C-alpha cells in the first residue's frame, strides 16, 4: 500500500489534516503522522502542515532534526505544504524578528499592512486574514483538477508569500491586493489556505495530491 507522511514537528493541525487525507485516501493510501526520519523517508508522499509563528516552527525543525529531512523530501518526493508549509519554502520571513526559510522558492514573506481597506466598501480589513476567500488559478496544474477557478478556500494568516519568480505562483488571492496563495514547481505544491478546512474544494485538492505523479 502507498503511504503519505504528515510531518509532526510539535506544532500543527495534524489531526484535521490527517483525517481529511484519510477521507479521500480510501483503501489506496496509508496516512502516517510521524516525526521519525525513517518513516518520512519511506513514505511515497509528504505533507508538511504548519500553523503558529514561523520562528518557532523553524527552530523546532532544527531541534528535532526534521529540517534536513524536509530538505531531502523537497528534492525527492511529491510534497504538499500547507500554510507555514508554504511560507517556510521562501528565503526569508519578516515574522519572529526575521526568520530564514528553506529557500527553495526565491522571495520573502511579508506582513499585511495594518491599514488595509476593502476597495469597494472602504471597510477596514482585519489582520489576520481569516475566513473564506477566492483563489484565482494562475497556471494549469494537476492539483487544480476538478476545482473551478475562483473557488473559495479557508485562510488564517497575518503574513503572505511574495515569490520572486512569477512562474512559481500557482494561484493568487486578493486581500485587497493580490498575494500568492499557492506556489508550484517540480515535485512541490504549497498553499497558504487550509484545504482540510475548505470542504469540497479542499478535499478535491488533497485527493488530487494523492493522485499526482510529478
Domains of the chain, CATH where assigned: 2-211 (3.40.50.880)
**174 tagged catalytic:** no
> Which residues, given as ranges, of the chain have pLDDT below 50?
none
pLDDT digits (tens, 9 = 90+) for 173-199: 999 999 999 999 999 999 999 999 999
Residue that the C-alpha cell 476538478 belongs to: 146
**DSSP structure string for 3-22:** EEEEE--SSS-HHHHHHHHH
Q: What cell was used for 56?
A: 518557532
Quote the CA–CA distance of 193 and 157 in Å, as a whole number. 8
For residue 167, count other CB atoms closer than 10 A to its CB: 11
Instruction: Give CA 57 to chain center in angstroms.
Output: 14
Do 157 and 52 meet the contact criterion of CB atoms below 8 Å apart? no
Do 152 and 201 meet the contact criterion of CB atoms below 8 Å apart? yes
Quote the CA–CA distance of 159 and 50 in Å, as a whole number. 13
**83 tagged catalytic:** yes
**Max Cα distance, the chain (Å):** 53
Catalytic member of 108, 157, 194, 207:
194
pLDDT of residue 52: 83
Do 179 and 173 meet the contact criterion of CB atoms below 8 Å apart? yes
Q: What cell was used for 2?
A: 502507498
Catalytic member of 57, 83, 95, 108:
83
Model pTM score = 0.96
Q: Please, where are the H alpha helices in 26-149? A: 37-42, 54-64, 66-76, 84-87
**194 tagged catalytic:** yes
Hey, what long-range contacts does 168-172 have (CB within 8 A, 24 or more apart)?
A: 168/105, 169/138, 169/139, 170/137, 170/138, 170/139, 170/141, 170/143, 170/144, 171/135, 171/136, 171/137, 171/138, 172/135, 172/136, 172/138
pLDDT of residue 27: 87
Q: What cell was used for 151?
A: 473557488
Catalytic member of 57, 108, 129, 196:
196
pLDDT of residue 9: 84
Cα→Cα distances 74→67, 114, 135, Å = 11, 34, 24
Q: What cell was used for 82?
A: 500547507
Amino acid at each position: 500500500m502507498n503511504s503519505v507522511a504528515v510531518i509532526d514537528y510539535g506544532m500543527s493541525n495534524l489531526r484535521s489534516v490527517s483525517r481529511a487525507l484519510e477521507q479521500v485516501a480510501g483503501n489506496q493510501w496509508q496516512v502516517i503522522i510521524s516525526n521519525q526520519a525513517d518513516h518520512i523517508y519511506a513514505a511515497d508522499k509528504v505533507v508538511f502542515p504548519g500553523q503558529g509563528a514561523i520562528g518557532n516552527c523553524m527552530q523546532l525543525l532544527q531541534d528535532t532534526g526534521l529540517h534536513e529531512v524536509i530538505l531531502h523530501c523537497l528534492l525527492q518526493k511529491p510534497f504538499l505544504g500547507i500554510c507555514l508549509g508554504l511560507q517556510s519554502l521562501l528565503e526569508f520571513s519578516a515574522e519572529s524578528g526575521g526568520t530564514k526559510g528553506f529557500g527553495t522558492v526565491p522571495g520573502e514573506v511579508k506582513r499585511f499592512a495594518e491599514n488595509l481597506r476593502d476597495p469597494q466598501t472602504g471597510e477596514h480589513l482585519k489582520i489576520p486574514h481569516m475566513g473564506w476567500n477566492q483563489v484565482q488559478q494562475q497556471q494549469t496544474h494537476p492539483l487544480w483538477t476538478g476545482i473551478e477557478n475562483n473557488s473559495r478556500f479557508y485562510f488564517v494568516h497575518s503574513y503572505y508569500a511574495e515569490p520572486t519568480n512569477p512562474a512559481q505562483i500557482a494561484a493568487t488571492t486578493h486581500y485587497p491586493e493580490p498575494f500568492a496563495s499557492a506556489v508550484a514547481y517540480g515535485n512541490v505544491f504549497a498553499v497558504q489556505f487550509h484545504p482540510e478546512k475548505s470542504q469540497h474544494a479542499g478535499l478535491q485538492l488533497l485527493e488530487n495530491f494523492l493522485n499526482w505523479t510529478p
